[in-house]
C-alpha cells in the first residue's frame, strides 16, 4: 500500500506553537517515538505532539492542516488497541489529555458534560456522591471519555448497561474543515433530524475532533451479588448463558472462562479453581429484591444445565475473592508461555450469544493447528469474545502463523453471524477483516469521510482506508 505522507514541516510546527504556546508543543525524539504508539502493535512517528487547550486552538490547527496538507491525529490516553492513534502518514498528534475538566453534573437532568480528556474512572468518582455512573471499558481507570466515544468502547457490563454509544446525547466537535459545531442536545429524547452525534461514535478520529461530550447517567446499583458455576462441558455453560438471557435476565456481568484459562490461572496462582471445560462468572446488580430473584433463578438454571460446582456471595469482599480468578486470568495466560508475548490480535470479536460455545471450541481447534497460543475468553452474556494471542514477536514465522490463524478465526466469526470487533474498533489491525464483514457498507462510509474531510486530514489510513494486512508498521523489529 502506498502511503502518501502528510507531514508537518518546521514552519507548520512554528505556526502551531504560535497558536498553542511553545510549551504545549513537543518535537523531541523521545516524544515523537512514544506518541507513535498506542496499546496496539503498530508504530509510526508523528512530526509533533501538541496539547491544545481549547476548541478554538484545535480549529485553527485543523484549518492550517487543510491549507498545508498535514495529518492531524486526536489522541486520548493512548489505550486503544488496534493502532487507532498511530500517525501512519506522520503529521501532528493532538494529545487531548489536558482537556480534562468535568464541566457540569446535573443529576436532576440525568446528564453530565465533560471535556474529552476526562478519565472514565475520574468521572465516576465525581458521579458517585450523586449515586450515578457511566459504564466503562476494562481500561476505565486509564481511558478517556473522548477515546471511549471515538471507539464506542464498552466492557463487561455491556449486556445490561450497553456501550458508550448508549450514553452520548450530545457533543461539541471540531469538524475536519475547522468548524466548531454542536451535535445532539441536553435532552434525553431527540428526534431533531440526523443524529450526527451518533455518527461521531466509533469514527476513530476520522470525522472530527470531539471537544465536549454530554452523557446520560446510569443509576448506581444498590446491591450486587455474584456467583460462579463450573461445567464439565463447554456446551452446558453455553446453554446456561442462553437460558439466562432468554429468561429474560440481564446480569451486570456474565463472563466465560474456558478450560485453557482455568488451567492457566490454577498453574500461575494456585487458586485451585474447579477443573472444568467452562466456568461462568455472573454478577447481578440493582434493587436488592430484584438481585435476589435474579440470582436465585440463575442458580436454578446453572443447576438444571449440570453445573457441578457453584459458589454464591453478596459480600463485597467475597465478590472480589470470587472474581479473583477472572482478574488473574490476563497475567496467568501470559505465564502459560513466559517467553512469548501478548499481541493485540483477534482481540474482541462478537458472535450471537447462542454461538459462544461453538466459537470458543472453534478458536481452540484453530489454535491447535499452530505453534502460537490463542486462549479464548470473554463476555459470554453479550457474545463478545477475546483471545489472548501469545507469540514471539521477533519471530517472523510466528507472525505468518498468526496471520493465518487470525484469518481462520474471523472466517469462523463471520460464518457464525458475528462481527470482527465488539468493543475495541477497527483502525489498522482489523481493517482487512472489517472490509470482509462490511463490504457493502464501505462505499457509503467512504462517501461520508470524503464529504466531511475532503483533504483527508483527520487520522488518515484507518478503518476502510487501510489497504494492507496488519503485518506492516509493526512495533517489533521483525522482517516479514
Partner 1 sequence: MQDKYIDLETLKQEMLTCTMCGFCKQVCPVFLDVGWDTGSPRGRMTMAYGLITGEFEPDETFRERIFQCTQCTDCYRRCPSSAKCPDVVLAARRELVRRGFINPAQTKLVENVCNTGNIFADLDVEFPEQNGEIPLFIGCQHLSRPNNTKKTIKLLQALKIYPKIIREVCCGFPLAIMGFEKEHQEQKSRLESIFPMNGDPMITFCPSCLMHLKKEYGQPVQHVLQIINNKLDDAPLDMIGKTVTYHDPCDLSRGAGVIDEPREILRKIGCDLREMTHVKKESRCCGGGGGILTWDESLSDRMGMARIAEAVNTGAEMIVTSCPTCEQTLKKSARNYAEKNSTKPLPVRHILDLVIKAIK
Taking the complex as a whole, the smallest distance from the CB of residue 246 to partner 1 amounts, in Å, to: 34
Does residue number 23 form part of the binding site for partner 1 (CB under 8 A)? Answer: no
The Cα–Cα gap between 5 and 71 comes to 8
The b-or-e profile of 12-22 (16+ CB within 10 A means b, else e) is: bbebbbebbee
> Which cell numbers hold the place of 110?
440525568
Sole binder of partner 1 in the list 124, 177, 297, 342 (CB under 8 A) = 342
Q: What is the distance of C-alpha 454 from the center of its chain?
A: 28
Does residue number 96 form part of the binding site for partner 1 (CB under 8 A)? Answer: no
Does residue number 271 form part of the binding site for partner 1 (CB under 8 A)? Answer: no
Sole binder of partner 1 in the list 30, 189, 192, 368 (CB under 8 A) = 30
Could you tell me if residue 25 is left (phi over 0), alpha (psi between -120 and 50 degrees) or otherwise beta? beta
Q: Which stretch binds partner 1 (CB under 8 A): 73-81, 148-156, 299-307, 360-368?
A: 73-81
Output the CA–CA distances (angstroms, integers) from residue 113 to 103, 117, 146, in the order listed. 5, 12, 12
The phi, psi pair for 12, rounded to 5°, reads -65, -45
Does residue number 344 form part of the binding site for partner 1 (CB under 8 A)? Answer: yes
Sole binder of partner 1 in the list 65, 71, 73, 77 (CB under 8 A) = 77
Sole binder of partner 1 in the list 6, 19, 20, 26 (CB under 8 A) = 26
Does residue number 34 form part of the binding site for partner 1 (CB under 8 A)? Answer: yes
The Cα–Cα gap between 306 and 35 comes to 50
Taking the complex as a whole, the smallest distance from the CB of residue 336 to partner 1 amounts, in Å, to: 13
Q: What is the distance of C-alpha 100 from the center of its chain?
A: 20
Does residue number 311 form part of the binding site for partner 1 (CB under 8 A)? Answer: no
Binding mask 151-190 for partner 1 (x = CB under 8 A): ----------------------------------------
Taking the complex as a whole, the smallest distance from the CB of residue 26 to partner 1 amounts, in Å, to: 7
Report whether 145 contacts 159 (CB < 8 A): no
> Which cell numbers hold the place of 307?
453445573
Report whether 407 contacts 429 (CB < 8 A): no
Does residue number 321 form part of the binding site for partner 1 (CB under 8 A)? Answer: no
Question: Which spans of this chain sit near partner 1 (rule: CB under 8 A)?
Answer: 26, 28-31, 33-35, 37-40, 49, 51, 77-79, 95, 97-98, 119, 121, 139, 141-143, 330-331, 334, 338-339, 341-342, 344, 393, 476-477
Amino acid at each position: 500500500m502506498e502511503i502518501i505522507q502528510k507531514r508537518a514541516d518546521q514552519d507548520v510546527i512554528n505556526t502551531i506553537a504560535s497558536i498553542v504556546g511553545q510549551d504545549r508543543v513537543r518535537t523531541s525524539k523521545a516524544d515523537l517515538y512514544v506518541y507513535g504508539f498506542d496499546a496496539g502493535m503498530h508504530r509510526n512517528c508523528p512530526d509533533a505532539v501538541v496539547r491544545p487547550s481549547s476548541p478554538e486552538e484545535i480549529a485553527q490547527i485543523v484549518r492550517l492542516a487543510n491549507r498545508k496538507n498535514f495529518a492531524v491525529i486526536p489522541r486520548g490516553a493512548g489505550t486503544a488497541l488496534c493502532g487507532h492513534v498511530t500517525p501512519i502518514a506522520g503529521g501532528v498528534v493532538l494529545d487531548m489529555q489536558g482537556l480534562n475538566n468535568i464541566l457540569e453534573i446535573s443529576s436532576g437532568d440525568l446528564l453530565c458534560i465533560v471535556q474529552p480528556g476526562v478519565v472514565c474512572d475520574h468521572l465516576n468518582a465525581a458521579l458517585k456522591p450523586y449515586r450515578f455512573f457511566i459504564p466503562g471499558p476494562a481500561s476505565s481507570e486509564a481511558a478517556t471519555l473522548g477515546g471511549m466515544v471515538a471507539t464506542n468502547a464498552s466492557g463487561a457490563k455491556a449486556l445490561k448497561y450497553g456501550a458508550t454509544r448508549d450514553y452520548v446525547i450530545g457533543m461539541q466537535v471540531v469538524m475536519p474543515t475547522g468548524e466548531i459545531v454542536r451535535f445532539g442536545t441536553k435532552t434525553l429524547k431527540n428526534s431533531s433530524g440526523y443524529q450526527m452525534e451518533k455518527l461521531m461514535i466509533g469514527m476513530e478520529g476520522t470525522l472530527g475532533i470531539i471537544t465536549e461530550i454530554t452523557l446520560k447517567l446510569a443509576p448506581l446499583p444498590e446491591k450486587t451479588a455474584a456467583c460462579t458455576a463450573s461445567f464439565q462441558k463447554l456446551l452446558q455453560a453455553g446453554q446456561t448463558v442462553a437460558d439466562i438471557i432468554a429468561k429474560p435476565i440481564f446480569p451486570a456481568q456474565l463472563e466465560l472462562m474456558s478450560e485453557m484459562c482455568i488451567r492457566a490461572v490454577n498453574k500461575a496462582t494456585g487458586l485451585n479453581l474447579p477443573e472444568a471445560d467452562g466456568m461462568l462468572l455472573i454478577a447481578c446488580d440493582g434493587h436488592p429484591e430484584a438481585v435476589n430473584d435474579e440470582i436465585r433463578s440463575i442458580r436454578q438454571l446453572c443447576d438444571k444445565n449440570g453445573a457441578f460446582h457453584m459458589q454464591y456471595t453478596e459480600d463485597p469482599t467475597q465478590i472480589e475473592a470470587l472474581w479473583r480468578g477472572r482478574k488473574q486470568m490476563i497475567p496467568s495466560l501470559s505465564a502459560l508461555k513466559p517467553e512469548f508475548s501478548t499481541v493485540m490480535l483477534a482481540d474482541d470479536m462478537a458472535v450471537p450469544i447462542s454461538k459462544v460455545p461453538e466459537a470458543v471450541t472453534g478458536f481452540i481447534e484453530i489454535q491447535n493447528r499452530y505453534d502460537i497460543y490463542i486462549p479464548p475468553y470473554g463476555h459470554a452474556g453479550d457474545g463478545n469474545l477475546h483471545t489472548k494471542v501469545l507469540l514471539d514477536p521477533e519471530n517472523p514465522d510466528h507472525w505468518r502463523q498468526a496471520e493465518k490463524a487470525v484469518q481462520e478465526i474471523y472466517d469462523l466469526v463471520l460464518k457464525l453471524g458475528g462481527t470482527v470487533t465488539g468493543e475495541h474498533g477497527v483502525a489498522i489491525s482489523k481493517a482487512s477483516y472489517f472490509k470482509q464483514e462490511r463490504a457493502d457498507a464501505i462505499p457509503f462510509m467512504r462517501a461520508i469521510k470524503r464529504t466531511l474531510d475532503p483533504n483527508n486530514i483527520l487520522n488518515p489510513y484507518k478503518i476502510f482506508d487501510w489497504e494492507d494486512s496488519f503485518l506492516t508498521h509493526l512495533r517489533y523489529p521483525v522482517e516479514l
